[in-house]
Structure 1
Amino acid sequence: MNHHKLSQNIYRYRKEQGLTQERLAQQLGVTFQAVSKWENGQSLPDVSLLPELSRQLAVSMDRLFGYTSAGKPVTIYEEEYKTPDYYWGTEPSVTCYKVLELMPPTRRLKVLDIGCGEGKDAVFLARNGYDVTAFDISDAGIEKTKMLAERTGVHVHVFKADIRDFRLETEFDIVYSSGVLHYIRPEYRAEIFANYKQFTAKGGMHFLNVFVQKPFIAPPPENEPYAYDWISGELLSLYHDWMIHDCPEVVFDCNSSGVPHQHAMSKLIAQKL
């Protein structure tokens, strides 16, 4: 059992449900000091309390303990990725070339690709000499990442994880993410990005983008129940203490759903000095 993960999740899901420590303690028939100790990792809930704790926090037991279960899909792309073709193609994002330009692999650099999808960017970076770790919530995406890596003759350490729950515990030189950070609820962004920054090596860089709300851009046609918009400048504000190399905002055309539409996106390249 990962005690640290359980402590983190009790705190996280209690906050998500809008419960105080006192209210949760009342529901469970314990003292609020007991709940405080669980969240601080000083003690663990009694096994008999776990089913009711899970119910009060509105999460499965698996998720409470930090395991990604095969429950209701978080992303609409799980089904899309099950086709033989690569939904997003296999050509890397242009941002990958910025990684090569600004952090060339003159030594073995460790890269984390957050929400790798079908693996096109992760495999490209591995092919160019980076030590790549990647994760995604989609089982089909993970399998296609493995197949693409094998076909290309490179290794990518890829695994299943939920961006909402996953936290870094080892250091990376480069943190990369494209098109998935909208799955992070606004109230967790500061804490999650503080974790990403903490476990970035000195001199390391983050290459990120987020979809942003704009009154002149219609909502996308895809129905994404677990997506949360960002606002202009929000991502940049989380990196006020890093060197900012680039932070453009762009509007681009998209036809991913078969319906022509547009997205507004904030991009960020930042370095830890």
Structure 2
Amino acid sequence: MKSNIGKSISRYRKLKNITQEELAVQLDITFQAVSKWETGQSYPDITLLPQLAAILEVSIDKLMGYAYQEPKRTIYEDEYKQDDYYWGLAPSKLCYKILALFPPVKPLKLLDLGCGEGKDAVFFARNGYQVTAFDIADAGIEKTKRLADKIGVPVHVFKADILDFRLDTTYDILYSNGVLHYIRPELRQDIFINYQQHTSPGGIHVLSVFVTKPFIPPAPEHEPNAYKWISGELFSLYSDWLTRECDEIIFDCHSSGIPHKHAMNVLIAEKPAPQHAIHTR
């Protein structure tokens, strides 16, 4: 997997409102060097990484696109350490929609964005998809691996932060259920452009995201790293794709032991095949 450090430097530099020239001055290098990092033409010297991370106020791991030594980013890390599966083992209803719309009659590469304890990722692998999955919770990753081993199916699972991880491999299917609220609003366009660029023509995205509604009280779980989405926001990021399904649902939830409701937008969108030019005499 190629390093995404250049894109990370660009992203965090812009979030800090620092120009390439200003960053170069602080590092005592040329702004051309910074430009080459951000365009992937070269990489920063390893001795510069601590100073670079300090200026951008992120860890070196985050600059590299991973979060191996990050403090807990999800409230479910401790829940996943329990022997039982917090979300159970039954696959999401969205999984069956993928199976119906895009059955693996040929090899299909699927990426599960934020796989949790791996129940959906393992379901896809059992049904013949070539599955890659990631999550930020160590306990969730370990349970995904154990579940895949128990069922006897291959799942390539690794740790990454959805805020930092960018695709450099093309997939046929991108799937995410109830994870996208961890993406900060100012990063969404950049992240989804990356996702769409690394999707095969004719491939699909099957995504859900929690949305806020004035008539639904906040969920009892306090998630300090969750960010609000509004109704239709997810759909607007796919205006040039073929919409297979877009829906807004309200459902009951008991995940915290306290009955409550959620509103969720659900999208199934297909990437259009490129249009071939028609030549006339």
TM-score, length-scaled by structure 1: 0.93
The residue that corresponds to 2:251 in the other structure is 252
**Corresponding letter in the other structure for 1:189:** R
Alignment size in residue pairs: 272
Q: CA deviation at 1:62?
A: 2.3
The residue that corresponds to 1:49 in the other structure is 48
Distance in 1, Cα, partners of 2:49 & 2:131 = 37
Distance in 1, Cα, partners of 2:26 & 2:220 = 41
The residue that corresponds to 2:222 in the other structure is 223
Range 79-88 or range 247-256, more displaced: 247-256
Structure 2 contact 212–230 (Cα < 8 Å) conserved: yes
**Corresponding letter in the other structure for 2:195:** Y
- Cα RMSD after superposing both structures: 1.8
**Corresponding letter in the other structure for 1:241:** D
Range 63-72 or range 169-178, more displaced: 63-72
The residue that corresponds to 2:118 in the other structure is 119
The alpha-carbon distance between structure 1 residues 144 and 23, as it changes in their structure 2 partners (threshold 3 A), is same
The residue that corresponds to 1:264 in the other structure is 263
**Corresponding letter in the other structure for 1:250:** I
Identity level (%): 64
The residue that corresponds to 1:65 in the other structure is 64
Matches within 5 A, 1:144-223: 144-223=143-222
Distance in 2, Cα, partners of 1:93 & 1:217 = 23
SS at match of 1:192: helix
Distance in 1, Cα, partners of 2:238 & 2:171 = 17
Distance in 2, Cα, partners of 1:137 & 1:235 = 22
Q: CA deviation at 1:66?
A: 2.7
The residue that corresponds to 2:108 in the other structure is 109
Structure 2 contact 104–129 (Cα < 8 Å) conserved: yes
Distance in 1, Cα, partners of 2:182 & 2:21 = 29
**Corresponding letter in the other structure for 1:270:** A
The alpha-carbon distance between structure 1 residues 130 and 43, as it changes in their structure 2 partners (threshold 3 A), is closer
**Corresponding letter in the other structure for 1:199:** H
Structure 2 contact 110–131 (Cα < 8 Å) conserved: yes
Matches within 5 A, 1:223-242: 223-242=222-241
Q: CA deviation at 1:21?
A: 2.9
The alpha-carbon distance between structure 1 residues 149 and 34, as it changes in their structure 2 partners (threshold 3 A), is closer
Range 149-158 or range 33-42, more displaced: 33-42
Q: CA deviation at 1:118?
A: 0.5
The alpha-carbon distance between structure 1 residues 157 and 46, as it changes in their structure 2 partners (threshold 3 A), is closer
Structure 2 contact 65–161 (Cα < 8 Å) conserved: no
SS at match of 1:247: strand
Matched, 1:141 2:140: yes
Q: CA deviation at 1:26?
A: 4.1
The alpha-carbon distance between structure 1 residues 131 and 34, as it changes in their structure 2 partners (threshold 3 A), is closer
Structure 2 contact 65–160 (Cα < 8 Å) conserved: no
SS at match of 1:111: strand
The alpha-carbon distance between structure 1 residues 42 and 169, as it changes in their structure 2 partners (threshold 3 A), is closer
Range 61-70 or range 32-41, more displaced: 32-41
The alpha-carbon distance between structure 1 residues 46 and 121, as it changes in their structure 2 partners (threshold 3 A), is closer
